[in-house]
Amino acid sequence: MEANNRRDFLKKAALAGASALMAPTLLAAEGEDESEFVLSPSKRTDSQLIVPKNNGLKITGTFLDEISHDIPHQNWGEKEWDLDFQHMKRIGIDTVIMIRSGYRKFITYPSKYLLGKGCYMPSVDLVDMYLRLAEKYNMKFYFGLYDTGHYWDTRDMSWEVEYNKYVIDEVWNTYGEKYKSFGGWYISTEISRNTKGAIGAFHTMGKQCKDVSNGLPTFISPWIDGKKAVMGTGKMTREDAVSVEQHEREWNEIFDGIHDVVDACAFQDGHIDYDELDAFFTVNKKLADKYGMQCWTNAETFDRDMPIRFLPIKFDKLRMKLEAAKRAGYDKAITFEFSHFLSPQSAYLQAGHLYDRYREYFEIK
């Protein structure tokens, strides 16, 4: 009897010590069996949101960043990519965009032209793989043009035009008529302001893309030169950000010069603050409507507000951006980029959690 009392005492003492270290949500309610709750998860499966659900623009497109210029490569094979396309399909993604077919010497397909220019031979033809997977999952694939790197070094766009003159023809002749999933073109040269030579370069490349492919759509994804456009400065924000009025003036001129060969513009949404979204988004939509262009948002799923470059974004930040896009009447939301920052099989554990929060918010089973 005495031994039994001692064992009961030790058991209760151990439970009391464990519960003192645990979060309040893990403690047993009065009158319930404590052992059932020790280190056990919540009985609920969904977050208890206190904001309206399904109140933003759903993401229906994503870039594919296989070159991985400034984020770690995940070293996936076709098995992993096939699974990722399934995860994309589950949340309604119908468009995949290869962000660039090459950057400097690394390329995504065995281009005879680029190999002849000193680029490295890839081990897999990623363009062919993406087109096959897009066809398998009934998605449209947009081909991103080649980035020589010379523009970033010199601000001279003539290199981009010259190289892509050959790449566009080569890619269309190799893949364009072979795959129904080949749905359009992404002019991958990124700008934020009315850069010298940008209008002419975008027009030349956009026109060639449309001419060779019987008018398939083209789009661009520039950034807004806002307070968080600080790459290479070592700072988190800057003071000489573009005003809404100057942004409107410059992009009115750019759209005027390219709207006949560029069908959509997907401004990156991460370079402005969250309380500036409505002002800039309203201007973007007004300009796109004026020139008969589609207004998309590039809803970045990585966080620019942290000193670590780059990690998956906090869900509330993504939610606010997608809600602003819906308020502005945007036509489509794409993201940079599902596989690293939103996929359940990403190298970043947080990406899978973001995927779950996204599904809860949009009520996707």
- pTM over cut 0.75: yes
Closest CA to 362 of 326, 331, 337: 326
In a domain, residue 260? The reply is yes
DSSP 92-107: T--EEEES-SEETTEE
Angle at which helices 277-290 and 315-327 cross, to 10°: 40
The confidence score (pLDDT) of residue 35 equals: 53
Q: What is the dihedral of CA 144, 150, 152, 155, to 10 degrees?
A: -110
In a domain, residue 42? The reply is no
In a domain, residue 350? The reply is yes
Find out whether the peptide bond into 337 is cis, omega within 30 degrees of 0: yes
CA distance 99 to 119: 18
Asked if 132 and 180 count as a contact pair (C-beta separation under 8 A), the reply is no
In a domain, residue 317? The reply is yes
The confidence score (pLDDT) of residue 29 equals: 46
CA distance 145 to 188: 6
The confidence score (pLDDT) of residue 194 equals: 82
CATH number of the domain bearing residue 344:
3.20.20.80
The confidence score (pLDDT) of residue 232 equals: 59
Q: How many CB atoms lie within 10 A of CB 270?
A: 23
In a domain, residue 327? The reply is yes
Q: Which residues fall within 8 angstroms of residue 287, CB to CB, at 6 or more apart?
A: 248, 251, 252, 255, 293
The confidence score (pLDDT) of residue 5 equals: 54
In a domain, residue 277? The reply is yes
In a domain, residue 278? The reply is yes
The H or E element spanning position 265 is strand 264-268
In a domain, residue 73? The reply is yes
The confidence score (pLDDT) of residue 17 equals: 45
232: containing domain: 64-362
As for how many domains the chain has, the answer is 1
Biggest CA–CA distance in the chain, Å, is: 93
Tens of each residue's pLDDT in the chain, 365 residues:
445 554 554 455 444 444 444 444 433 444 445 555 566 666 777 889 999 999 999 999 999 998 777 889 999 999 999 999 999 999 999 999 999 999 999 999 999 999 999 999 999 999 999 999 999 999 999 999 999 999 999 989 999 999 999 999 999 999 998 999 999 999 999 998 888 899 999 999 999 999 999 999 999 999 998 888 876 556 666 677 899 999 999 999 999 999 999 999 999 998 899 999 999 999 999 999 999 999 999 999 999 999 888 999 999 999 999 999 999 999 999 999 999 999 999 999 999 999 999 999 999 99
